[in-house]
Structure 1
Amino acid sequence: MAHGQHQPLEGQVLNARTGQPVPFATLGVPRRGLGTVADENGRYLLRLPDNFADTVVVTSIGFSRALLLPAHLAAGQRVVRLAPQEQTLENVVVAHRRVKPATLGRKTAKGDLRWVAGSSGKNTVDDEWGWELGAVLHPAKPAVLEAFHVYLHDNNYELLRFRLNLYAYGQGKPGKTLLQQDVQLKAWPKQKGWLTVDLRSYNINLEAQPVAATIQWLQSETAEPQKKYFSVPVKRQPKQVMLERENSEAAWTIHAMQPSLYFELLTE
């Protein structure tokens, strides 16, 4: 974050149709490391530098994105209304083929390094929310996702919440969001080891094409301000498959490593 910041920008993200809060909507500034995530009541606190004159992009799964333009901010606009997207149900064709269980990703808990995220020694943590970590995966055949797992080597938080994101992957970076539902993972206090979410009720299908799977940090709470961090094991490897970005609108970086996360799936 930049130095010389003014008072935080506070507001709320609402559903434009119902007027209800949009929980855990993301806010980010394109091409800059500025962003955060709204809380369960859609309220956000965004720390911006002095003389800020950029556009803030507000997004949430299942909604069209909205923009807070510099003129809007100067006029005092703090409430953002997101329009729900119409959900289209794809035709499901049941093929009379045998399917078998498989895994996709790295299911080993041990790694060469611990990839640490947190804000130990800082008074605030909200400007870290929105951070994403994940991997490029290559399904060999069409598949149905059954469960997702990510390994926490360290976790000093009383509350830790993530969102699972899936993106089409092409031209060296993640692209279109593939999920139409908000899939979240929540760790119990100081939970370590494999964190799991059952995906069977979401009916998520993958084609035999590269995808990027990430966890996005949504929320955290701790009573120990000097120990605010968690970590995921990563393994060094020749191929660049590990993805990371600071918030929902920041540029992606890619590393020659692979984090400990994977899917259980059914495939042909």
Structure 2
Amino acid sequence: MKYSLPLFFLLLSLCCQAQPIRLAGQVLAKESGSGLPYVNIGILEKNIGTASDEQGRFALDLPREHQQETLTFSAVGYEELSVPVAELRSMQPLVIKLQEKEMQLQEVVVRSRKLRVRRLGVTGRLSVVWGQPEQKEGHDIYEFANFINVKGRETELLSAHFYLTSSKLDSALFRINLYKDRGGFPGERLVEKSIVQRLSAKEGWVSINLESFSVYTDDNFFLGIEYLPAANTDKFAVTLGGTLGGTSYSRKSSLGAWEKFSGVSLSGYVTVQQ
């Protein structure tokens, strides 16, 4: 019996060490004080993260081995902010305020030649090919992306198209992201505009009108679709169509590492005017 008490304390100590660090708070716009929805929150490139809800609230269970890391908060149209986990743990209440970015007007190119409407990306699909991330824990986003080659032409984006299906939901919330090409992977955002829409999850193609966002580019870019699951919703309730051949990209978490996979492609394309 003399060994029971020390053993009990040892087991209690090991149990406490295994418990994750709970971070729960809210992300606000610094100027207005309003909650910022769908902020990507995570440890860069580590596939550990979450996203804020419609009121900017978030909760993240962080494994203790990452207590010396830095958590990054990234929202479209706002300056990215990185804060050490140790500092976040000491904040009561935990409130993060993001500064709005100073936007530069995009240059509009006027051309005299007749323009053509084209479809760039993967326009086909195969009924046996579907896209879902492998990781299956936590309430977080997942995202797929396709490389879009504009061939150096001045390009206006008109719309984006994806193939979706769900056996559990009639509709779901998605964010369409446009990324610059950074060494063959999605990099910085091409435009600082939040393109969040609720899309039908009944099997078929969905379209997102991009004309109101006035996106022009002559550089190759990546077209991404980011699933924003609602609270208490299965992260894997929606799948995306695909096809054989080509290359696509995915990430399993907010601000996580992008993975490149070959042999299958996401069914996603843009219509453009060139």
Once residues 4 and 145 of structure 1 are traced to their aligned partners in structure 2, the CA distance between those partners, rounded to angstroms, is 49
Match for residue 150 of structure 1 among 141, 162, 168: 162
Does the 8 A contact of 1:5 with 1:47 survive in 2?
no
Q: Deviations over 1:161-215 (max 9, x none)?
A: 1111111113222222112210123124x422112211111001121x3211111
Unaligned runs of 5+ in 2: 1-16
Letter in 2 for 1:199: L
Unaligned runs of 5+ in 1: none
SS of alignment partner, residue 162 of structure 1: strand
Deviation at 1:234, TM superposition (A): 1.9
Once residues 179 and 71 of structure 1 are traced to their aligned partners in structure 2, the CA distance between those partners, rounded to angstroms, is 33
Q: Deviations over 1:2-46 (max 9, x none)?
A: x94436321100011111111111101123121111011111111
Identity of aligned residues (%): 24
Once residues 231 and 124 of structure 2 are traced to their aligned partners in structure 1, the CA distance between those partners, rounded to angstroms, is 28
Higher helix share: 2
More divergent stretch after superposition (105-114 vs 16-25) = 105-114
Deviation at 1:128, TM superposition (A): 4.3
Alignment of 1:39-118 (within 5 A): 39-51=53-65, 52-76=67-91, 78-117=94-133
Give the direction of change, closer, same or farther, for the CA distance of 1:195–1:152 in structure 2 (3 Å limit). Answer: same
More divergent stretch after superposition (34-43 vs 136-145) = 136-145
SS of alignment partner, residue 265 of structure 1: strand
State TM-score, norm by structure 1: 0.85
User: Partner residue of 2:270?
Assistant: 263
State TM-score, norm by structure 2: 0.84
Give the direction of change, closer, same or farther, for the CA distance of 1:186–1:154 in structure 2 (3 Å limit). Answer: same
Once residues 27 and 155 of structure 1 are traced to their aligned partners in structure 2, the CA distance between those partners, rounded to angstroms, is 28
User: Partner residue of 2:29?
Assistant: 15
Alignment of 1:188-227 (within 5 A): 188=200, 190-207=201-218, 209-220=219-230
Does the 8 A contact of 2:139 with 2:229 survive in 1?
no
Deviation at 1:247, TM superposition (A): 2.2
Once residues 61 and 73 of structure 1 are traced to their aligned partners in structure 2, the CA distance between those partners, rounded to angstroms, is 22
Query: Aligned-pair RMSD on alpha carbons?
Result: 2.4
Does the 8 A contact of 2:77 with 2:101 survive in 1?
yes
Match for residue 139 of structure 1 among 150, 158, 162: 150
* 1:24 and 2:38 correspond: yes
Match for residue 183 of structure 1 among 183, 192, 195: 195
Give the direction of change, closer, same or farther, for the CA distance of 1:204–1:91 in structure 2 (3 Å limit). Answer: closer
Larger Rg: 2
Deviation at 1:60, TM superposition (A): 0.5
Q: Deviations over 1:146-170 (max 9, x none)?
A: 1111101335235521111111113
Deviation at 1:76, TM superposition (A): 2.6
Does the 8 A contact of 1:167 with 1:178 survive in 2?
yes
Letter in 1 for 2:53: D
Letter in 2 for 1:243: Y
Once residues 128 and 25 of structure 2 are traced to their aligned partners in structure 1, the CA distance between those partners, rounded to angstroms, is 41
SS of alignment partner, residue 120 of structure 2: strand
Give the direction of change, closer, same or farther, for the CA distance of 1:236–1:41 in structure 2 (3 Å limit). Answer: same
Letter in 2 for 1:258: S
Does the 8 A contact of 1:150 with 1:195 survive in 2?
yes
Count, aligned residues: 254
